[in-house]
Every structure is written in structure tokens, then in C-alpha cells.
Amino acid sequence: MNNNGDAGAATFKRWPIVMALLIGAFVSILNQTLMNVALPHMMSDLQVTETTVQWLVTGFMLVNGVLIPVSAYLMDRFTTRSLFISATTLFAIGTLVCGIGSSFAGVLIGRVIQAAGAGVLMPLMTVVFLTIFPIEKRGQAMGTMGIAMIFAPAVGPTLSGWIIQHHPWNMLFWIVLPFSILSIILGFIFMKNVTEVSRPKLDSLSIVLSTLGFGGVLYGFSEAGSEGWGAAEVVVTLVVGVVALALFLWRQLASRHPMLEFRVFQYNMFSLTTIINVVVTMAMYAAMILLPIYLQTIRGFSPLESGLLLMPGAILMGIMSPITGIIFDRIGARLLAVIGLAITIVTTWEFSQLTDSTTYTHLILMYTARMFGMSMLMMPIQTAGLNQLPARLNAHGKAMSNTLRTIAGAVGTALLVSVMSSQTKSRVTEMVISAGINPKDPANAELMGQITKEATIHGIDYAFVIATGITAVAFVLSFFIKKVKINREGQDNEVEVKPAKA
């Protein structure tokens, strides 16, 4: 294919690549959304607390966050086809380990292996999309990518709820495994090499510093919920994390060939949109963990009912994704972001008013409206920032954006789960003292159960108040988004799709 090739031929050759990428992304995200509804059940079965079980999610995101910066190096070093096949194979191996796992540690190891594959797959998909589609159709292309990224959350919670209700939780991973194998096969058949290959040098010290930095900060936030913010373990890990991140930043800025290119922040609109997406992601991921805990642990809804409640919102988000992509191509991101964030603020605040009698219908309506607001945010805002970057910085810009969003999701989850846990403990202590009872007396077991239930609802409500405040910050920032002139430096209208190499 070349610049003079006809559009029909170009489209014909793009779509087999797009199909392989979308199925790989679908499998990766389906795996993640299956977990959210299952966590309360796994928490009981594996005999761990909320702050421990959430590591099955935050640990996955942490490894993603560490590997995403490396993805820019990997895309320079290896062909598109070999990288895609390797990533999907690694993900399939992790899925198998989770499927045969019988302990929390075993499942966590499987999740880490899965994350190693997904951490490369997701940024690879975006860079390939930005490469094979004309720059004028980026909004539509990113919207198309969003279909798979949002269709998985549409079916994931309900499928997970049905499986958990009728089968052991290991079945979640056995369901994903055949799709993982299919994505490997499709990679062998359809994937082409569309990115340039060079021989960059791997910066091992940067990988160590980023792992210590992101890992230390995330671990500190996670443990604060159970140990308290003043605990030595929490303080030490947070200090180590911050120092390591500072050294990592210094090394990237001093290097001529950094692992993670911080110079992308010289572009003001990329910087602004990245900050907005980071803030929104913190609030979004936390709700995915808190709601299933409220629905199943507090209200006693079945896993299937919990999953069904989340499905309409995810379906609506999937329908809206290509539509918002087309709208973005015409009017830009600011109006979409302002309206979407206004809806998100109102609905997030509504979730801070949960009680033990909030109706199922009200919960469905609020969650669906919240997802409608979210559908206007992620892809348009991210694409607006990437449009300002020259083509040579596409991979670095995407790696930076994905890294910060992934880490924000992990930190946001850890932070708000910690807030929920600490507020729950504080309220339990307060109510026990007020009632003047002995919590260890078996005669008070029923009363303590009621106190714990009320305190947990208070903790979840308080966490959603924090999430509302976080979303409000993004809302204010969204007014400063501008429709920038597309940076065409190094960008051709068409890309040559090279023959696949073995």
C-alpha cells in the first residue's frame, strides 16, 4: 500500500489487523471486568480482607503500569507481529495459572503474568491504530477501538455474576482461556508489521527505579487502609516510592534516549488532557470495586444481580464510543468533556448517599447515567492530546498516557478502598463506644453485625464523596481544553503494511 493506493484497498488491508487487535483487547479487558463482581466471593473463599483481595486488581494494574513504559522500547526493538503474539501468549499462560490456582498467592502470580502480556498489548494496539489510520480519522479509529474496550465491560459483570452463582470462581479464567488462544491464532494469521524496528538500548536502571517508585507508592496507599497512615511500613514504602520516582524522573530527563519520554509534556494540550484522564481514572476504577462490595456484602444481592446492574451502563458506553469518536472529529473534545464530567459529578455524588434501603432501580439508573457521562471522556480527551504530538512521539505519548492512567487507577482504587476501610473502622469504634457494648461478647454478635453493616455503608459513602471531589477537579480543568491544530510532522496519509515475518 502507498500514498497513491485507493481507499478501498487500504481499508481492506487494515481491517484484518484491526480485528486481531480488537479481539486481543477484548480478551484482556473481559478478564479484568470479570474480576470486579467476583471479588466479594473470592474474598470469602480465599479468606482475605478487602484491602488484600483488591491486590488482584491493583497488582494487575501495577505490573501494567511498570511494563507500559517499556512498551515504547519493545515496539522499537521487535516487530509488531512478534510482539503481539508474545503478549497474547503471555496473557494466556497467566490465565492458565489463575485457572489452576487454589490460593490467593497462586491467583496473584497468575494475575501478574496476565498483566505482563496486557501491559504490552494495549499500548501496542493504540500505536498500530494511530499508524494505519489517516490522521483525520483518528477520532473514528479510537472510537472503533473503544467498542471492544467497552463491549467487554458490558458482558463481563453479568457473565461473572452467573458463573460465580453456579460454578467455582476458577471457571472465570477457564472461560477466558479459549479466547486467549484464539487471539494468538489470529495474530499468526492476520497480524502485519506496521511499526519501524531499530536496536535501542534497554535502560535496566530505569526499570528498577520505576518498579520501586510505582510499587512503593501503590503498596503504601494499599496498606494504609489496614495498617493506618502513620504505620512504619506505610511511611517507609511511601518514602522509598517517592524517592525512587524522583530519581526515575531525573534519569529520564537526563537521558538522550529515555525509557519514558517526559518531554511530551512540552506540549501543553497533551499535558492537560493527560492530567484530566488521570483524575477521571482514579474515580472510575474505585467505583468498579466499591459497588460490588456494597451490592453483595452489604445488600445481599446475588453475584448475577450485581452483574446485571452494571450491564446497561456498559452497553450504553459501548454504543456511545464510536458516536463520541465521530463527534470528536467534528467539534473537538472540550464540549464532550464538560458535559460528560458534569454528568459524572452528579452521579458520583448520588453514590455517596447510599443507604441499606437504596432501591435496585435507583442504582441501575445512576450507574447507567454515570457510564453515559464517562463515554464522552476517555477516548476524545486522550485523542485530543495525542493529536498535538508529532508522529515520532506517538508511541512515547501513548506510553506516558497509559502509564499514568494505569497507575492512577491502581492508586485511586487503593486510596478509596483505604478510605472506606479506615472510615468503617473509625465508625465501628465510635458506635461501639456510644452503645457501651463489649464487641467480643457473643451475646452482642447480632448487634455488632448491624453496626458493621452501617459502618461499612458509611465508609463506602465517604469514599464516593472523595471520588466526587476528584471528579470536580477534572471538570474545572476540562474548560481549558482547546482544539489544537493536528501535528502532521512525520505523518503520511497512508502507511505501508509490510509482509509478516515469521
Instruction: Kindly list the domain boundaries of the chain, sorted by start residue.
Output: 9-202+259-478, 203-258
Sequence length of the chain is 502
Q: What is the pLDDT of residue 502?
A: 36
pTM above 0.75, yes or no: no
Per-residue pLDDT of the chain (502 residues; tens, 9 = 90+): 333 333 333 444 677 888 888 888 888 878 877 777 788 788 888 888 777 787 887 788 778 777 766 777 788 788 888 999 999 999 999 999 999 988 888 999 999 999 888 888 877 887 787 777 776 666 666 666 666 666 676 677 778 888 888 888 888 899 889 988 988 998 888 888 777 777 777 788 888 888 888 788 877 877 776 676 778 888 998 999 999 999 998 998 888 778 778 888 888 888 999 999 888 888 877 677 788 788 888 888 887 887 788 778 877 877 787 788 788 878 878 889 899 999 999 999 999 999 888 998 999 999 889 888 888 887 788 888 888 888 777 767 877 887 788 778 777 877 888 888 888 888 888 888 887 777 677 777 778 788 888 899 999 999 999 999 999 999 999 998 887 666 555 444 434 434 334 3
Q: What are phi and psi of 489, to 5 degrees?
A: -60, 115
Q: What is the pLDDT of residue 60?
A: 82
Largest CA distance in the chain: 83
No. of helices (H) and no. of strands (E), the chain: 16, 0
Q: What is the pLDDT of residue 91?
A: 93
- Looking at domain 9-202+259-478, what is its CATH homologous superfamily? MFS general substrate transporter like domains (1.20.1250.20)
12, amino acid identity: F
Q: What are phi and psi of 498, to 5 degrees?
A: -80, 155
Q: What are phi and psi of 491, to 5 degrees?
A: -110, 120
Angle at 50 (CA atoms; ends 99, 315), nearest 5 degrees: 65
CB atoms within 10 A of CB 489: 10
- Which grid coordinates belong to 220? 503504601
Write the DSSP symbol of residue 494: S
3-class SS of residue 194: coil
Contacts with 134 (C-beta within 8 Å, 6 or more apart), sequence order: 493, 494
Q: What is the pLDDT of residue 346?
A: 94
Nearest to 125 by CA among 25, 9, 225: 25
Where in 127-171 does DSSP place strands (E)?
Answer: none
- Which grid coordinates belong to 281? 481514572
CB atoms within 10 A of CB 242: 14
pLDDT digits (tens, 9 = 90+) for 250-301: 998 888 778 778 888 888 888 999 999 888 888 877 677 788 788 888 888 8
Burial of 393 (0-12, 13-18, 19+ CB in 10 A): buried
Contacts with 441 (C-beta within 8 Å, 6 or more apart), sequence order: none
Q: What are phi and psi of 260, to 5 degrees?
A: -125, 115
Contacts with 221 (C-beta within 8 Å, 6 or more apart), sequence order: 238, 411, 414, 415, 418
449, amino acid identity: G
Write the DSSP symbol of residue 231: -
Find out whether 455 and 428 touch, Cβ atoms under 8 Å: yes
Q: What is the pLDDT of residue 57?
A: 78
Find out whether 52 and 176 touch, Cβ atoms under 8 Å: no
Find out whether 337 and 380 touch, Cβ atoms under 8 Å: yes
Find out whether 128 and 19 touch, Cβ atoms under 8 Å: no
Q: What is the pLDDT of residue 347?
A: 93
Find out whether 83 and 122 touch, Cβ atoms under 8 Å: no
- Which grid coordinates belong to 421? 476501610
Q: What is the pLDDT of residue 153?
A: 65
Q: What is the pLDDT of residue 186?
A: 86
Q: What is the pLDDT of residue 207?
A: 84
- Side-chain half-sphere exposure of 236, counting CA atoms within 13 A: 4
3-class SS of residue 54: coil
Q: What is the pLDDT of residue 496?
A: 40
Q: Distance (Å, rounded) from C-alpha 260 to C-alpha 218?
A: 19
Label residue 386 left, alpha or beta by phi (over 0 means left) and psi (-120 to 50 means alpha). Answer: alpha
Find out whether 206 and 256 touch, Cβ atoms under 8 Å: no
Nearest to 395 by CA among 211, 192, 258, 203: 258
